[in-house]
Chain A
Amino acid sequence: MTPRPTVTPSTILSLTVAGLTPVLVLVAVYITFRGHNAPGGGFAGGLIIGIVLVLRYLTDGAEALRRLPVDPVVLIGVGLGAAVLTGIAPLLVGGSFLESNVWKLDLWPVGQVKVVSSAVFDLGVFILVTGVVAAILVALAEADDEASRGETTGGTEGPTDGPPTRTGVDR
């Protein structure tokens, strides 16, 4: 592995990302729920969260990922499960696969609220995409970790078997 310079992220980037994170998360959630009747949806929302994660990875390094409260793989499972179960659930009450149901609830302070079962599907996609991006980042960070550990200890216990032959590939 070509020795990688230890990158210190620029202060401007760090501060911007720190400030943007809550805004982006809010935008992501908004786009996800807006998606029922307008352009948007779980996929776009999840990708925005993914961008947040990538930005945090750029500024804080692998440390940002270690702070994740859940295993990304579990997130993938929960998201996919929610989406598929939204599809299967109507079958149990005699509907057809992926059929959507609308409930109109009267919540006293807010007024009438429309709750749609397909929103759960979107939410599942949202969680799924977030999980996938996080899982990819974790895998990349692990590969980097192993590679740099292999360098410092002189071992070859990295993801590679045997010493890799570098042919001047720039990164």
Chain B
Amino acid sequence: MSVTQAGLLAVLVSVGTFLVLHRSLTRIILGIGMLGNAVNLLILTVGSTPGEVPIVGSSGADRMTDPVPQALVLTAIVIGLAVVAFLLSMAYRSWTIDGNDVVEDDLSDRRIAAEPDVTQDFGDET
């Protein structure tokens, strides 16, 4: 593991976490993109030792890097793309509905929290 990779990981994770904690869905999406890249980088960083391209015929098997982490990253990238595409469409939908993309609170929770006495729901039945 090189210092550059570790430093890049630190930056990506902290920036991603910061963005995910926002209320605006667009920023959350950017944050998720960052975190996704961070995790992919993590797989490559911790999962394999540096080596040559793991393609049969291009170099000797003993000098190749481990291909498994690369396969994992490839899959994770494709999944990440699908997730981001879905989130973007949700943000767009949210924008067409009420003109912003703010992630709102659970309305029903707020209402019940504001209720003075929940036991009254049992009413005179009991």
Contact = CB atoms under 8 A, between A and B. Distances in A.
Partners in one complex: yes
Interface string B73-94: 0000010000001000100110
B108 interface: no
B80 to A, nearest CB: 12
Contact of A147 (B96, B99, B100): B96
A98 B124 CA distance: 65
A169 B96 CA distance: 11
B55 interface: yes
A43 B78 contact: yes
Contacts of B96: 143, 147, 158-160, 164
Contact of B100 (A37, A140, A169): A169
Interface in B97-114: 97-100
A155 to B, nearest CB: 15
B95 interface: yes
Contacts, number: 28
Interface residues of B, number: 12
Nearest to A143: B96
B98 A165 contact: yes
Contacts of A147: 96
A152 interface: no
A37 B93 CA distance: 41
Main secondary structure of the interface of B (DSSP, over half): helix
A62 B100 CA distance: 25
B85 to A, nearest CB: 7
Given A38-B55, A43-B78, A167 B89 contact: no
Given A38-B55, A136-B85, A136-B89, A164 B98 contact: yes
Contacts of B92: 140, 143
A3 to B, nearest CB: 14
Interface of A: 37-38, 43, 136, 139-140, 143, 147, 158-160, 164-167, 169
Interface of B: 55, 78, 85, 89, 92-93, 95-100
